[in-house]
Amino acid sequence: MLAKHGDEARPLGGGTTLVILMKQRAVHYPYLIDLQKIPGLDEIKKESDGVRIGALATHRSVELSPLIRQAIPVVAEAFSHIGNVRVRETASVGGNLAHADYRLDPPPPLLVLGAEVSAIGPKGARRIPLKNFFRGMYETALEPGEILVDVAIPHMPANSRAVYLRFSTLSANDWPCLGVAALMTKENGRCRELRLAVGGMAATPLLIDGLDFVKDQSVDDGLIEKVLTCLDAQISPSSDLRGSEWYKRRVAKVFVRRAIERLNGN
């Protein structure tokens, strides 16, 4: 149907975004294809290599899932702060990612966990690492006619912990000014691996590169400063009503430091 109607059709997930945009006459699609009619697309499943969240699973079901709370609590935490409870009961995980708003909460934690999405379309099925999924403001790697099927999140590395910190400058239910996710693996009191991702800063969420220098280092102020320098070189925040470029750059550093200190147990 997507192929037949082209730009006139849109797949409908939870509908929290698309229905509102249509009500506001911001977009118009003569055909909506109700993905809720496809059975099984809302399942949250344990797999041998991790957890798989169906694209139509609601935010609330992720937030409350015993499986996710136990295996990847950072994901349950990130989903628990989106909008309000009614939005979370309705909005779908896949619709949220496919909408690709730059202020989404889930991408930073999903990026540090190494998540992949699977998509299916007229040319078949494929998997896309999440770090290659976001292409721009409201733009993703999905091809015309493709829909998102699920998000696969691998097991967390042994001895690792992860945290997601979101910062709101307006009300608690608002989009974040920025969000910071960090995952740290420790061995014998030293850092083995650090992964960082930020959201809300620029057109797409960003997984920070070049953090290999933390390997086998002890986590002290010197190391954190080096990480912050690395972060500062890679981000290019855009100003919006929740914070200016200057402000976001400073707050990002505060929150990354806080995230690392929390993971290090200070």
Partner 1 sequence: MKRSIAFTINGRSEAVTIDDADTLLEVLRDHFKLWSVRESCGVGACGSCTILLDGRPASSCFLLAARVAGREITTLEGLGEGDSLHYIQKAFLEQRAWQCAYCTPGFVLSIKALLDENANPSDEEIREYLSGNLCRCAGYADILRAAVVARDSARTLAGKR
Residues forming the site for partner 1 (CB under 8 A): 15-16, 19-20, 22-23, 32, 34, 36, 60, 83-87, 89-90, 172-173
Phi, psi of 219 (to 5 degrees): -85, 100
Element (H, E) at 164: strand 160-167
Q: Work out how close the CB of 134 gets to partner 1 at its nearest, in angstroms, rounded to a whole number.
A: 24
Q: Work out how close the CB of 78 gets to partner 1 at its nearest, in angstroms, rounded to a whole number.
A: 15
How far apart, in Å, are the Cα atoms of 23 and each of 18, 103, 258?
A: 9, 22, 40
81 vs 126, which CB is nearer to partner 1?
Answer: 81
94 vs 205, which CB is nearer to partner 1?
Answer: 94
63 vs 116, which CB is nearer to partner 1?
Answer: 63
Q: Work out how close the CB of 60 gets to partner 1 at its nearest, in angstroms, rounded to a whole number.
A: 8
49 vs 174, which CB is nearer to partner 1?
Answer: 174
- CA gap 11, 148 in Å, rounded: 10
23 vs 189, which CB is nearer to partner 1?
Answer: 23
Phi, psi of 25 (to 5 degrees): 60, 25
Q: Work out how close the CB of 96 gets to partner 1 at its nearest, in angstroms, rounded to a whole number.
A: 14
Residue 164: partners with Cβ closer than 8 Å, 6 or more residues away: 74, 77, 78, 105, 108, 109, 179, 180, 181
Asked if 168 contacts 174 with a C-beta cutoff of 8 angstroms, the reply is: yes
Q: Work out how close the CB of 130 gets to partner 1 at its nearest, in angstroms, rounded to a whole number.
A: 26
Asked if 196 contacts 207 with a C-beta cutoff of 8 angstroms, the reply is: yes
